[in-house]
């Protein structure tokens, strides 16, 4: 059978990795797919930049439309990133009847509903395994591997840069800004690190995971996002003394009234496997009603790790080239006409446990004031850690772990605590998830 011809949009890190993996493993990939896969066309912004890969035999152009419009291209692989140009090119490829593989989480999180609808009308596939957690086959695992389950919740460390920073802060007691600067020097973090450290990148990926887990349309605009820029070595240390690690976690949970969808720094019990996922590695913990907890771990970024997911999608596309379109795995795991309209809950309606750190006067009655405020809101205390005042300091750090409560109640309690005369400055609040099977 003739090989399948692939047109690449973008010849940067992941594009170069994809060319290299397809070349190096051509024989094994053909043995699996039953048909060869070759890159026949590629578009890049500049044609005379040094490349990760050998481009011999690939028809190069600076105009991505040439790739998208070429009748010789069977599948378009979109690796240029960003929102608008990517959307335009992907929709144009679909309109031309081409299957699409993309690693672009921003595109899928924001325009996925529109793109999948267009793909369904045209009878083509849009595959996006590489958009979440790099080479970990997490989309396939949830969409197909756990198809028998009602997914109850999932929690992911899905931004390698953020996890690298938090791991370094913990291992070496260093400040956030300090580690970020180093990560930028090593190329682990972008010059503008906003997407990573503010949790936007993680929220893109979480939005996608929540859709395929719960059968809901993509709703990035309703995701709650909080970054790691205000995490201090102090909080990392106190968390550790209490038996927890701080991770930048994406959580999606089905509760009676809707879906929790949130990315924020989170304390996790140190004995959980996912609490020990360090450095730039990613992991997603999925709780299904039949299978219980399952965890998927691997590299969340990098040229060849991401290429691994791109090529897996290409192999899947090769197989579906002759499949009845009505019988394929649906883009969002559930049939397009069977998505549900469960609401994404506003953060005030979300329940979690909390770590609170505050600076209190070292005087009797302070603890009673705070516990009364928490009690008034119906918030139960799990643990209190009272540290000795430093030499010459009138205020002492007080750390509370609470049981699960509504975010709205915690907001009320924190307002009341900060209004106390005996409290100095703001309350540090970090959410805490036990990630046990039951919730």
Residues that are catalytic: 205
Structure tokens given for 95: 């309109």
Residue whose C-alpha is closest to residue 309's, from 124, 74, 105, 62 = 105
Residues of each annotated binding site for L-homoserine: 190
Q: Does 377 bind its own copies (CB under 8 A)?
A: no
User: Judged by CB under 8 A, does residue 5 bind its own copies?
Assistant: no
Nearer to its own copies, 123 or 375 (CB): 123
What per-residue string of b and e applies to 173-199 under the rule 16 or more CB within 10 Å gives b?
Answer: ebebeebbeebeeeebbeeebebbbbb
Count Cβ atoms below 10 Å from residue 49 Cβ, excluding itself.
9
Nearer to its own copies, 107 or 216 (CB): 216
Find out whether 302 and 279 touch, Cβ atoms under 8 Å: no
Tokens of 342: 């469960």
Output the smallest distance, CB 87 to its own copies, in A: 26
> What distance in Å separates the CA atoms of residue 234 and residue 153, rounded to the nearest whole number?
30
Per CB under 8 A, the list member of 117, 177, 181, 273 interacting with its own copies is 273
Known binding-site positions: 9-16, 105, 190
Rounded Cα distance between 424 and 357, Å, is 11
Site string (335-364) toward its own copies, x via CB under 8 A: x--x--------------------------
Find the binder of its own copies among 163, 167, 211, 308 (CB under 8 A).
308
117 scored as a contact of its own copies (CB under 8 A): no
String marking each residue 146-185 x if it binds its own copies according to CB under 8 A: xxxxx-----------------------------------
In this chain, which of 46, 56, 326, 390 binds its own copies, going by CB under 8 A? 326
CB of 331 to its own copies, least distance (A): 12
Please, which residue, 241 or 323, has the CB nearer to its own copies?
323
Min CB(255)–its own copies separation in Å: 16
Please report how close the Cβ of residue 259 comes to its own copies at its closest, in angstroms: 14
The reply on whether position 136 binds its own copies by CB under 8 A is yes
Q: Is 277 in the site for its own copies (CB under 8 A)?
A: yes
For position 22 contacting its own copies by CB under 8 A, the verdict is yes
Burial of 25 (0-12, 13-18, 19+ CB in 10 A): middle
Among 304, 360, 373, 427, which residue sits at the site for its own copies (rule: CB under 8 A)? 304
**How many helical (H) and strand (E) elements, i.e. helices and strands, does the chain have?**
14, 17
**Can you say whether residue 128 is alpha, beta or left, with left for phi > 0 and alpha for psi between -120 and 50 degrees?**
alpha
In sequence order, what DSSP letters do the residues of 117-135 get, joined into one string?
HHHHHHT--EE-GGGSSTT
If the CB atoms of residues 189 and 307 are measured against its own copies, the closer one turns out to be: 307
34 counts as binding its own copies under rule CB under 8 A: yes
What residue ranges in 10-81 does DSSP mark as E strands? Answer: 37-43, 59-61, 75-78
Q: Give the residue, chosen from 16, 17, 199, 227, that forms a contact with its own copies under the rule CB under 8 A.
A: 17
Q: Is 10 exposed, middle or buried (0-12, 13-18, 19+ CB in 10 A)?
A: buried
Kindly report the number of other CB atoms within 10 A of residue 59's CB atom: 16
Find the radius of gyration of the CA atoms of the chain: 24
Is residue 258 part of the contact set for its own copies (CB under 8 A)?
A: no
CB nearer to its own copies: give 331 or 431: 331
- Locate all alpha helices (DSSP H) within 252-405, ordered by sequence: 303-320, 366-376
Q: How far is the CB of 270 from its own copies (least distance, A)?
A: 11
d(C-alpha 357, C-alpha 67), whole Å: 55
Residue keyed to tokens 């996912």: 274
Binding annotation for NADPH: 105
| Shortest reach from residue 22's CB to its own copies, in Å | 8
Binding site for its own copies (CB under 8 A): 17, 21-22, 24-25, 28-34, 129, 134-137, 140-141, 143-150, 215, 273, 276-277, 288-299, 302, 304-305, 307-312, 314-316, 319, 321-324, 326-330, 333-335, 338
């Amino acid at each position: 059978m003739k090989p399948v011809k692939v047109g690449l949009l973008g010849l940067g890190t992941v594009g170069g990795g994809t060319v290299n993996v397809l070349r190096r493993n051509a024989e094994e990939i053909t043995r699996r797919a039953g048909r060869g896969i070759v890159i026949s066309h590629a578009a890049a912004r500049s044609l005379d930049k040094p490349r990760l890969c050998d481009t011999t035999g690939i028809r190069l152009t600076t105009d991505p439309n040439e790739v998208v419009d070429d009748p010789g291209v069977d599948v378009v692989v979109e690796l240029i990133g960003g929102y608008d140009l990517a959307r335009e090119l992907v929709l144009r490829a679909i309109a031309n009847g081409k299957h699409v593989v993309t690693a672009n989480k921003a595109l899928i999180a924001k325009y996925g509903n529109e793109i999948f609808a267009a793909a369904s009308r045209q009878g083509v596939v849009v595959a996006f395994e590489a958009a979440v957690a790099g080479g970990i086959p997490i989309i396939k695992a949830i969409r197909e591997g756990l198809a028998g389950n009602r997914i109850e919740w999932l929690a992911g460390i899905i931004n390698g840069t953020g996890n690298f920073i938090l791991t370094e802060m913990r291992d070496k007691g260093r400040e956030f800004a300090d580690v970020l600067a180093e990560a930028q020097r090593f190329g682990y973090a972008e010059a503008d690190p906003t997407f990573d450290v503010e949790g936007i990148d993680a929220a893109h990926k979480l939005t996608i995971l929540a859709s395929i887990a719960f059968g809901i349309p993509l709703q990035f605009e309703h995701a709650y996002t909080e970054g790691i820029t205000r995490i201090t070595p102090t909080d990392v240390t106190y968390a550790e003394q209490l038996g927890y690690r701080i991770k930048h976690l994406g959580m999606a949970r089905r509760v009676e009234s809707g879906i929790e969808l949130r990315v924020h720094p989170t304390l996790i019990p140190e004995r959980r496997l996912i609490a020990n996922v360090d450095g730039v590695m990613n992991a997603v913990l999925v709780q299904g009603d039949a299978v219980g907890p399952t965890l998927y771990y691997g590299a969340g970024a990098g040229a060849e790790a991401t290429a691994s997911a791109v090529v897996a999608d290409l192999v899947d596309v090769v197989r579906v080239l002759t499949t009845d379109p009505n019988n394929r795995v649906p883009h969002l795991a559930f049939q397009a006409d069977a998505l549900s309209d469960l609401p994404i809950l506003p953060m005030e309606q979300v329940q979690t446990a909390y770590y609170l750190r505050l600076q209190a006067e070292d005087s009797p009655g302070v603890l009673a004031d705070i516990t009364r405020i928490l009690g008034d809101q119906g918030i139960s205390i799990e643990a209190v850690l009272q540290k000795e005042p430093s030499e010459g300091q009138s205020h002492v750090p007080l750390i509370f772990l609470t049981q699960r409560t509504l975010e709205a109640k915690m907001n009320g309690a924190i307002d009341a605590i900060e209004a106390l005369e005996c409290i100095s400055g703001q309350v540090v609040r970090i959410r805490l998830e036990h990630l046990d099977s039951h919730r």
